Amino acid sequence: MRNLLAGNSVIPVIVLDREEDAVPLAKALVAGGLKVLEITLRTPAAVGGIKQIIEQVPEAIVGTGTVCTPEQVQLSEDLGCQFMVSPGATDQLLEAAQKSSVGLLPGVSTVSEMMRCMEYGYQDFKFFPAEASGGAAKIKSLSGPFADVKFCPTGGIGLGNVMDYLSLSNVMCVGGSWICPANLVKEQCWDEIEQLAREASALGQ
């Protein structure tokens, strides 16, 4: 995951309500400089949207988000995704991910959860929900006892606080939905989304 996400400081977290929005949204984000896209498996449109993006936007690095079950691990592999992101991490999920060819960024919010994932060999984590779980201050405090660990914080992050996270040495990227807000996607404002992506891609450079 660290190699895959290298050089990508912001990962858009996408919730697709309509399949027809998938390709133009992905093209706008990629044109704005954001190539790594996390599409959450929260909606009925997600699977079809992922298929279309992989087929029609080859520059995009597509991953699934909100991966919670072994079945969704298998689905991510079947779809041809390049990575998976989970909000938390159960033993069942971690065991399924170990057998998968698709890399997982497991979600943690406590030290004990992180240590359990480390027993499975993980060094890179989604820190979620970031703001509600202690924010940048908590992540900074973890750099001492866990110097080799890197985080992708997600949850409650926007332009007002994103640099609090990206300035930390143990943060490799952040996940955020502010780049593709629901109202702009609904109104198909692709130029505005491309501009938001352009601004986001310049962060942390």
Catalytic residue ranges: 38, 126
Q: How far apart are CA 180 and CA 16, in angstroms?
A: 10
Q: Strand 103-105 to strand 83-85: parallel, antiparallel, or no bridges (unpaired)?
A: parallel
Phi-psi region for residue 121, left (φ > 0), alpha (ψ -120 to 50) or beta? left
**Any idea what DSSP says for residue 13?**
E
Instruction: Name the amino acid, one letter, at 171.
Output: V
> What is 75-134 written as a DSSP string?
HHHHHT-SEEE-SS--HHHHHHHHT-SSEEE-EESSHHHHHHHHHTT--EEEETTTGGGT
Helix or strand or coil: residue 140?
A: helix
Handedness of CA 124, 7, 60, 43 (dihedral sign): positive
